[in-house]
Amino acid sequence: MRPLITAIGLLLGWEALVWATGAPPYILPPPSRVLAVMVERFDLLLAEAAWTAIEMIVGLLLGLVLGAVLAIVFAASVGWRRWALPLVIVSQAIPVIAIAPLLVLWLGYGLASKVAMAALVIFFPVVSTLYDGLRRTNPGWLDLSRTMDASPAATLLQIRLPAALPAFASGARIAAAVAPIGAVIGEWVGASAGLGYLMTLSLARGQTALAFAALVVLCLLGLALYYATDWAARLFVPWQSQGE
């Protein structure tokens, strides 16, 4: 209830600000107008949103798989970690905006470059949280598996990995929250569809209200992705506290 009241209060404040300053709609459209545009251009927004949603979801899945595989490889092998970990860190030190044009150049204007960009921002929180989780297994559990003559592979699969799943779940939540960044930046740099594309296009044409409408839809999409991930995390990892 409270978030709703806050949201309505902010919208009323925005409306009052437009009315008081007399700002022209191509600078700052009032929320009533944004809402009207959302209703008017519903089909367009839905189509672009579907496109962005696909980019985000495919990017998220790809990033999660890539991140999980890398974290497991790092946890299982010191050699791989020494060679590949610096590369992972470099991939995050380069701002994604800086390599976005390159990715578009190599992968084209279509889905692939946006998915690649989303996966690029997503995989890092996944690698770092899961790898951390794999390293911090309760030492008592490791002692137990040693006295039970478990092989390193069995210990990894049956104890360290499930024990690290709560950490993986928080990584996945962060990943879901940053997924829109990758997708939208990709669309800004070069695309022929998607909400980010719609925003740049409508801003260039002075249709600021439509850009705001796209932004609102993007927000809702991001929230939906986050809560869906959170729900899945709770469903698959019911043991949140790692306990003793």
Taking the complex as a whole, the smallest distance from the CB of residue 164 to other proteins amounts, in Å, to: 11
Residue 185 CA to residue 104 CA, distance in Å, equals 11
Under rule CB under 8 A, residue 143 binds other proteins: yes
Under rule CB under 8 A, residue 234 binds other proteins: no
Question: Quick one: which of 22, 79, 95, 140 contacts other proteins (CB under 8 A)?
Answer: 140
Question: Quick one: which of 16, 65, 89, 144 contacts other proteins (CB under 8 A)?
Answer: 144
Selected range binding other proteins among 38-46, 156-164, 174-182, 202-210, rule: CB under 8 A: 156-164
Under rule CB under 8 A, residue 6 binds other proteins: no
Residue 175 CA to residue 188 CA, distance in Å, equals 20
Contact code string over 100-139 relative to other proteins, x by CB under 8 A: --------------------------------------x-
Taking the complex as a whole, the smallest distance from the CB of residue 163 to other proteins amounts, in Å, to: 8
Residue 93 vs 151, nearer CB to other proteins: 151
Contact 118, 182 (CB under 8 A): yes
Q: Where are the alpha helices (DSSP H) in the chain?
A: 2-21, 31-40, 42-76, 78-93, 96-107, 111-135, 139-147, 152-155, 161-189, 195-204, 208-236
Residue 63 CA to residue 34 CA, distance in Å, equals 34
Under rule CB under 8 A, residue 146 binds other proteins: yes
Closest by alpha carbon to 173, among 89, 96, 231? 231
23 backbone dihedrals φ, ψ, rounded to 5°: -65, 135
Residues lying near other proteins in the complex (CB under 8 A):
138, 140-141, 143-151, 154-155, 158-159, 162-163, 165, 239, 241-244
